Amino acid sequence: MLNEDTSVPREVDVCPAGASQQGNPIYVIDDDVQMRRSLHFLLSTAGYVSWSFSSATDFLDNLPDLEPGPILIDVRMPTIGGIELMKMLVDRGIRWPMMVMTANADIPVAVQSIKLGATEFLEKPFDFETLEVSLKAAMIQLAVVKKADEVRKISLRLFDLLSPREIEVLMVLIDGQPNKVAAYQLSLSVRTIEMHRANALAKLRVKSLAEVIRLARDAGIALPQRKLA
Amino acid sequence: MERLIYVSESNIEESEADAVIAQIVANSQSRNAQLNLTGALIFTGTHFAQVLEGCKKSIDEVMASVQRDRRHGAVTVVDRSPINERQFSKWAMAYQGPSQFVSRQVTRLIHTTPGAEQKRATEWLTQLAREFLKP
């Protein structure tokens, strides 16, 4: 991770001016040092906190310690290119807004990056106003993502409390099977099914299977298609 | 055979956009198939851009209903030219989403002056739509 602003003492970066108003940091990944410097200068002048990385590897190495923030990615970089980096981020479940920059704008690359979820595709050189419009949209999107991630984390933590048996019973019931059929399928008594069901609902702090389904959706857990209305 | 490209401003509420667009796409798909029209639709949240390819009569018929449709306004026909072959094999939704990049390509069509520059913008948008529709 680089801080490109060499003229400013390092301590300033610990508590950057305007950080509290602007909130999330912006990550710049570009092998071109001039581009990193100029973006860092423009972003900090506009009151944003920005961190630069000279390669995809450098960014990925630091990723576990980074706060969520919009990512500005250059397309053409040695070793791991921008598109490849986006794929890796998507695979890792990173849903922070991604914006792509390139000097050689061609349609296939633009479409590929948009399909990968890039919110913006900037043709270098671009003016800072264009970038700022996209950054504002990206910050709004980031807030939505952060909230959804938070909800997912809380919901997942609840599901972690369930025993494998309770999960099994819930899955069969959500599948639309009556207790009797569930009991038969799992070779349990109806009473045991009812007990597991009640315990599971209590642990998940919900009162109905419909709420379990909603919670599972929040947690990003795949459920069998429910056959009952 | 002709190709027409128009850009229009959406009157659709953001909260209803997904449902309304899904309906538009379903209706257009069956109607355009009947009229033997091919092409693509792009929706950026604020604007529509549509490419239509087919015979003059079919295009006229669709454009008459486009002009009547209250879900969008300020319909600007950017280009209408004779063509020898189609660039699209069917009619489909090419892109619907928040990309500022796509949005700029669409608004660029209405803000460029007619002539070579607009022709280029038109070509670029057509290629963009084609690329989105590639599997």
Nearest CA in chain A to B98: A119
Query: What are the angstrom distances between the C-alpha of A29 and each of A8, A54, A67?
Result: 21, 6, 15
Find which of A107, A119, A135, A144 to mutate to test the B interface (most B CBs within 10 Å of its CB): A107
Averaged pLDDT for residues A137-166: 91
State the pLDDT at residue A183: 92
State the pLDDT at residue A3: 64
Interface residues on A facing B, Cβ-Cβ cutoff 8 A:
107-108, 110-111, 114-115, 118-122, 130, 133-134, 137, 141
**Whether B128 and A120 lie within 8 Å, measured CB to CB:** no
Pick from B98, B100, B128: which is nearest to A111 by CB? Answer: B128
Displacement of CA A169 from its chain's centroid (Å): 31
State the pLDDT at residue A229: 38
> In chain B, which residues have pLDDT < 50?
none
Residue A168 in this model has a pLDDT that exceeds 50: yes
Pick from A111, A115, A137: which is nearest to B100 by CB? Answer: A137
Confidence of residue A226 (pLDDT cuts 50, 70, 90): low
- Write out the DSSP string of A57-99: HHHHHHGGGPPP--EEEES--SSS-HHHHHHHHHHTT--S-EE
CA–CA distance, A128 with A113 (Å, rounded to integer): 21
**Whether B127 and A107 lie within 8 Å, measured CB to CB:** yes
- pLDDT tens string A87-139: 999 999 899 999 999 988 789 999 999 999 898 999 988 999 989 988 998 99
A&B contacts, CB < 8 Å: 35
Name the β-bridge partners of A81. none
Residue A227 in this model has a pLDDT that exceeds 80: no
State the pLDDT at residue A104: 81
State the pLDDT at residue A13: 44
Averaged pLDDT for residues A24-45: 95
User: How far B44 CA lies from chain A's nearest CA (Å)?
Assistant: 12
Q: Which two tokens stand for residue A128?
A: 């800072």
| Helix, strand, coil abundance in chain B, percent, nearest 5 | 45, 30, 25
More confident residue, A1 or B79: B79
**Whether B99 and A120 lie within 8 Å, measured CB to CB:** yes
Nearest CA in chain B to A122: B101
Nearest CA in chain A to B125: A107
Is some CB atom of chain A closer than 8 A to the CB atom of B99? yes
The 10 Å Cβ neighbour count of residue B41 is 22
State the pLDDT at residue A16: 45
Query: What are the angstrom distances between the C-alpha of A76 and each of A88, A105, A111, B132?
Result: 16, 11, 16, 21
State the pLDDT at residue A5: 56
